[in-house]
Amino acid sequence: MAMKTMVNITLEKIIQRKILYCQNDNNQELANMNAGYVRGFNQMLEDMNLTETEFISKYLNIVKELKVVFDCVIDQKESIENIDELSGYNNAIVDILGLLNEKYLYYENW
């Protein structure tokens, strides 16, 4: 790891490091969840050209849509084969939104 001052570490670099961590995690029990994390992180990397407002709006909407899916699973109305991957995807989004503003870690309006 290069010796950079903290001011030179970008959100993009943080996301790239999180992807590397997930890709190098050999825990097979977490493989599906890590795949979801990587999917979410990669999607967010593609959106680095958005404004902060656009980025937050886009990903808040995705998390709201995922909440509907998770609520159906909890209510046993639906069974989802890839629930671990969706959980990782959701968690990746919330993780990065939380870096932008900690309120998104505890957001009540999902």
Per-residue pLDDT 10s for the chain (110 aa) are 567 788 889 999 999 999 999 999 988 888 899 999 999 999 999 999 999 999 999 999 999 999 988 888 777 765 666 889 999 999 999 999 999 999 998 877 65
Residue 18, C-beta contacts closer than 8 angstroms, at least 6 positions apart: 37, 41, 92, 95
Is 21 among the domain residues?
A: yes
**What domain range includes position 39?**
10-105
Rounded Cα gap, residues 50 and 58, in angstroms: 10
Is 96 among the domain residues?
A: yes
Is 43 among the domain residues?
A: yes
Is 2 among the domain residues?
A: no
Q: What is the torsion angle, in degrees rounded to the nearest 10, for the CA atoms of residue 51, residue 42, residue 70 and residue 100?
A: -40
Residue 39, C-beta contacts closer than 8 angstroms, at least 6 positions apart: 85, 88, 89, 92
Is 1 among the domain residues?
A: no
Rounded Cα gap, residues 58 and 31, in angstroms: 26
Rounded Cα gap, residues 101 and 17, in angstroms: 20
Number of domains, the chain? 1
* 76 torsion bin: left (phi>0), alpha (psi -120 to 50), beta (else): left
Is 4 among the domain residues?
A: no
